[in-house]
Chains A and B, each alone.
Chain A
Amino acid sequence: MEKTEEKLLDIQDLRVHFHTRHGVVKAVDGVSFGLERGEVLGIVGESGSGKSVTCLSVLGLLPAPPARIESGRALLAGRDLLTLDAESLRRVRGKSISMIFQEPMTSLNPYLKIGVQLVETLRAHEAIAAEAARARAIRMLDRVGIADAGIRMDGYPHELSGGMRQRVMIAMALLTQPDILIADEPTTALDVTIQAQILELIRELKAEFGMAVILISHAMGVVAEMSDRILVMYAGRVVEQGNPGEIFRHPAHPYTKALIDSMPNPNASADRLPAIAGTPPDLARLPAGCAFAPRCGFARPVCRETDPDERTRPASETPALGAPEALTRPGSPTRSAEPGHAFRCHVDI
């Protein structure tokens, strides 16, 4: 319990509901997790699982109405972000917590020169002279791998390729040296080779600036490679969390297991993939009991009646992994005790 105070971000029992004509959509329904300094936390889940809404609500970026934060706390260094007024929140956003999005073209202003957007971001958060801000922006562009950074400052976003735009977004996010970078599907719109470049860059910059990263993605491979710890979300809940080795080698939740099994895998020679039947539930009409039960191959009568509580499986139970470097990557925080492997399921699989 003494670990609570060293957490950089502490989300407790967050519930975000959307009040729509079709009913109350429970987009996030009781999510709790912590983020430690310098850690990469991966959040995986399919569309509608609540991974983006969780992060957007913490930053106060959801339109309200229809969104309403029903309960919970989001403590950043002890301060609850959910109770801050707009002005204080604006000072947190872009300063302590920065966010990058999937489609860098829609996140950059097409009418403004890249330099203007970078300098504006910096000066919104720091009392710094225009010239000094410009110099810092050029240094940061250079650092994220933009060639001829000085010249690019006077260019417009449309002159850049998708990968370069994402580099500009990363430069903009890191200018103020935030403690937390939230990357929401940062490579989904990019080609494989560019994806590899951007992931490499995020990894380097994380080590260099010592920030924590929340990486949101539907791509299990990307999350597995980048993260120190992983949350798996389904229907607005965290159904499993643990380190990548445990999650991918010994998934405890049937959804996680099914998701991993349904990925095309070169070692499985079968023609057919073990797909998950059905579709994710309507969040306005969640089934009783476990939300995954209707699609779950392990479901028992109890699963359709009561919602499972969180259980833990101690990390020591998991056999040693083949590749220890995956767990102690350079720049990873060293923890005195590995947090256990937690999941919400009635069944032992």
Chain B
Amino acid sequence: MSTSEAEAALLEIQDLKVHFPLLKGMLRPKLIGVVKALDGVSLSVRRGEVLGLVGESGSGKSTLGRAIVGLARPSAGSIRFNGAELTGLSRRAFRPFRSRVQIIFQDPYSSLNPRMTVYDILSEPLRIHESLPRAERARRVAGMLEQVGLAAEHMARFPHEFSGGQRQRIAIARALIVRPDLVIADEPVSALDVSIQAQILNLLTDLRRKFGLTMVFISHDLSVVQHISDRVAVLYLGKIMELADRSRLYARPLHPYTRALISAIPSMDPAARKERIVLKGSIPSPADPPSGCRFHTRCLHAELKCAEAEPPIEAFAPSHCSACWFSSRWA
């Protein structure tokens, strides 16, 4: 089982670190610190699955997505895509992978060039990655627009002529037109209204099935992640706190941070309302993370040990890992 699972991994991330230098001064900048946006993350994404990444701002979830598509440079660790190492590649050597891994951003207002028509936006990746005759390109663009619920006659229009939901459809079409194996969706529905959010989530579900997509779905919204993911990783200050199958993670969270996050989901149903765990304070600076367990400064269960030593990430069940000294309490 474990070997076939390893074979099925499309993306394999080992001890990935992304550190950003903190500089002060304009003329002769001095290094005054290091922001550890990602500080040792290991996970794998299986072919065909949706892996959800949740965490607060500053947890490193977006940095992880950007590192996978080559938009953030890893400081250490490895990213293997389909068995091939992606870190350390030159821009040129990386290029073949760019069409295999695509990204959809949160804000469809700023991620589409306002001076390009929909046709230009969708045909640009085709021009870069595939040499197709012009007629064939137009056919592909029209076909893709249809797949995302728009019409071929929208090709000549500009982004400002579309609503937020329609723009997100264009962004999805742009990501999928080169037929990628892996799609990173970074908060793709967070800027949308509730009724439109459901349409886009349905679209992603349909396209996933149709194209056999593998997806990393990044969101701060735990209900949305629960809806769409097969497995979920919870990040905090650049580390994975917990990683489990969707149903296990939400039913039996083993990390105090996950437990607090899940309890903080506002519920419409008064009967479903559980005791709320309100965490104190806010996420510490990733330039100066707490000693030991990074979460101990906000944890309701923290003991002396937590400030002293960092808990390893351990498996408590076949598909359930948690990085807490006391996870066995809830196991």
Q: Counting CB contacts under 8 A, is B138 at the interface?
A: no
Assess the B270–A191 pair: CB atoms within 8 A.
Answer: no
Q: Counting CB contacts under 8 A, is A195 at the interface?
A: yes
Assess the B226–A264 pair: CB atoms within 8 A.
Answer: yes
> In the bound complex, how far is the Cα of B199 from the Cα of A272, in angstroms?
9
Chain B residues in contact with chain A, CB under 8 A? Answer: 56-57, 163, 165-166, 193-199, 201-202, 205-206, 220-224, 226-228, 250, 260-261, 264-271, 273, 276, 278-280, 282-283
> In the bound complex, how far is the Cα of B58 from the Cα of A161, in angstroms?
12
Assess the B273–A272 pair: CB atoms within 8 A.
Answer: no
Assess the A271–B205 pair: CB atoms within 8 A.
Answer: yes
- CB B322 to nearest CB in A, in angstroms, measures 18
Residue of A218, A248, A263, A274 contacting most chain B CB atoms (<10 Å):
A263
Binds B, one of A133-141, A173-181, A221-229: A221-229
- CB A168 to nearest CB in B, in angstroms, measures 14
Chain B contacts for A224, CB-based, 8 A:
266-270
Q: Counting CB contacts under 8 A, is A46 at the interface?
A: yes
Assess the B56–A191 pair: CB atoms within 8 A.
Answer: yes
With contacts A46-B193, A195-B264, A218-B194 taken as known, whether A264 is within 8 angstroms of B273 at the C-beta atoms is no
Assess the B220–A225 pair: CB atoms within 8 A.
Answer: no
> In the bound complex, how far is the Cα of B205 from the Cα of A61, in angstroms?
42
Interface of B is mostly: helix
Residue of A whose beta carbon sits closest to that of B56: A191
Chain A contacts for B165, CB-based, 8 A:
279
Assess the B195–A245 pair: CB atoms within 8 A.
Answer: no
Chain B contacts for A279, CB-based, 8 A:
163, 165-166, 196
Assess the A193–B266 pair: CB atoms within 8 A.
Answer: no
Residue of A whose beta carbon sits closest to that of B200: A275
Assess the A321–B195 pair: CB atoms within 8 A.
Answer: no
Residue of A whose beta carbon sits closest to that of B166: A279
Chain B contacts for A266, CB-based, 8 A:
223, 226, 250
Assess the B266–A197 pair: CB atoms within 8 A.
Answer: no
Mask: chain A, 179-219; 1 = CB below 8 Å from B; 0 = not: 00000000000011111110110000000000000000011
Residue of B195, B198, B206, B283 contacting most chain A CB atoms (<10 Å):
B195
With contacts A197-B279, A264-B226 taken as known, whether A192 is within 8 angstroms of B265 at the C-beta atoms is yes
Chain B contacts for A200, CB-based, 8 A:
276, 278
> In the bound complex, how far is the Cα of B198 from the Cα of A264, in angstroms?
8
Assess the B270–A244 pair: CB atoms within 8 A.
Answer: yes
Assess the A264–B266 pair: CB atoms within 8 A.
Answer: no
Residue of B220, B250, B271, B282 contacting most chain A CB atoms (<10 Å):
B282
Residue of A whose beta carbon sits closest to that of B266: A221
Chain B contacts for A263, CB-based, 8 A:
194, 198, 223, 268
> In the bound complex, how far is the Cα of B227 from the Cα of A327, in angstroms?
29
Assess the B193–A47 pair: CB atoms within 8 A.
Answer: yes
- CB B49 to nearest CB in A, in angstroms, measures 14
Chain B contacts for A245, CB-based, 8 A:
270
> In the bound complex, how far is the Cα of B197 from the Cα of A161, in angstroms?
28
With contacts A191-B57, A196-B264, A197-B278 taken as known, whether A46 is within 8 angstroms of B194 at the C-beta atoms is yes
Chain B contacts for A69, CB-based, 8 A:
none
Q: List which A139-191 residues lie within 8 A (CB) of chain B.
A: 161, 163-164, 191
> In the bound complex, how far is the Cα of B271 from the Cα of A321, in angstroms?
8
Chain A contacts for B199, CB-based, 8 A:
275-277
Q: Counting CB contacts under 8 A, is A89 at the interface?
A: no
Residue of B56, B223, B260, B270 contacting most chain A CB atoms (<10 Å):
B270
